[in-house]
């Protein structure tokens, strides 16, 4: 088991997050994928002695694919570094893999657990509507019963993800992972997850760009990708 934390310029939160995660996962199984931070984040990571990787400056999806390719753990928990994902939920993500061999991904559902961000700013509302529409279409087309396909807090069986060939570079990677696994008849379940509001800085997500990326990702996977 391993935890991958994705970070860019989150010096105010990354140290405490690594401490929180280390309560549930040994430090040798905590990996930080940095997007070339320039605010003291890297120094904070090194001070905590977590294992540090640098992404290719191509976006969240590229960073996720790099982590899955490079970090050789059977199950990887993926989480953000802005303080919105709670380390104490880590056992809930791992338990389904201990219970059943056929689980390939566990998604933390904010619609089952709650969120401080879903109904805030216009940006958050746009993201909520996009997530709801994407989830609805995926459920109808691939006969799934999911509620939150775009939450980045999730655990994946590395072998299964490597089999389905991800290509997204941006934030649409979360949607792509769901679609690709469903198309290959992999098993996805959800656990309740409570999302906290980020305490510092602003989100790196540009809602309209993400919406366009998700539409293209959905279209490509529905019509062309096998």
CATH number of 2-223: 3.90.550.10
SS3 55: coil
Please report the pLDDT score of residue 175 as a whole number.
95
Please report the pLDDT score of residue 130 as a whole number.
83
> What is the Cα–Cα distance from 124 to 222, expressed in whole angstroms?
26
Which runs of consecutive H residues, i.e. helices, occur in 106-224?
Answer: 110-113, 122-142, 158-164, 173-183, 207-223
Domain boundaries, the chain: 2-223
Q: Please tell me the pTM assigned to this model.
A: 0.92
Structure token pair of residue 102: 């056929």
Structure token pair of residue 199: 């305490």
- Inter-residue contact 171 to 205 (CB < 8 Å): yes
- Mean pLDDT by groups of 10 residues along the chain of 226 residues: 96 96 97 96 96 95 97 97 96 96 97 80 73 93 96 97 94 95 97 89 68 88 78
Taken as a whole, the chain contains a residue count of: 226
Which runs of consecutive H residues, i.e. helices, occur in the chain?
Answer: 14-22, 41-48, 60-70, 90-99, 110-113, 122-142, 158-164, 173-183, 207-223
Please calculate the CA angle 151-205-110 and round it to the nearest 5 degrees.
20
Structure token pair of residue 74: 């059977």
């Amino acid at each position: 088991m391993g935890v991958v934390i994705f970070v860019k310029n989150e010096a105010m939160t990354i140290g405490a997050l690594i401490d929180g995660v280390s309560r549930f996962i040994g430090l040798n199984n905590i990996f930080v994928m940095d997007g070339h931070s320039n605010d003291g984040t890297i120094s904070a990571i090194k001070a905590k002695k977590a294992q540090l990787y640098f992404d290719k400056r191509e976006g969240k999806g590229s960073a996720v694919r790099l982590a899955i390719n490079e970090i050789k753990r059977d199950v990887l928990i993926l989480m953000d570094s802005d303080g919105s994902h709670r380390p104490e939920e880590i056992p809930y993500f791992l338990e389904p893999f201990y219970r059943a061999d056929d689980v390939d991904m566990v998604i933390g559902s904010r619609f089952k657990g709650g969120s401080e961000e879903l109904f805030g700013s216009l940006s958050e509302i746009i993201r909520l509507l996009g997530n709801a529409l994407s989830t609805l279409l995926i459920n109808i087309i691939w006969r799934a019963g999911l509620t939150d396909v775009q939450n980045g807090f999730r655990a994946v069986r590395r072998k299964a993800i490597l089999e389905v060939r991800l290509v997204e570079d941006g934030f649409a990677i979360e949607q792509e992972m769901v679609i690709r696994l469903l198309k290959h008849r992999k098993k996805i379940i959800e656990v309740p997850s409570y999302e906290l509001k980020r305490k510092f800085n602003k989100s790196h997500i540009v809602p309209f760009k993400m919406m366009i990326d998700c539409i293209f990702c959905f279209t490509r996977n529905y019509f062309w990708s096998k």
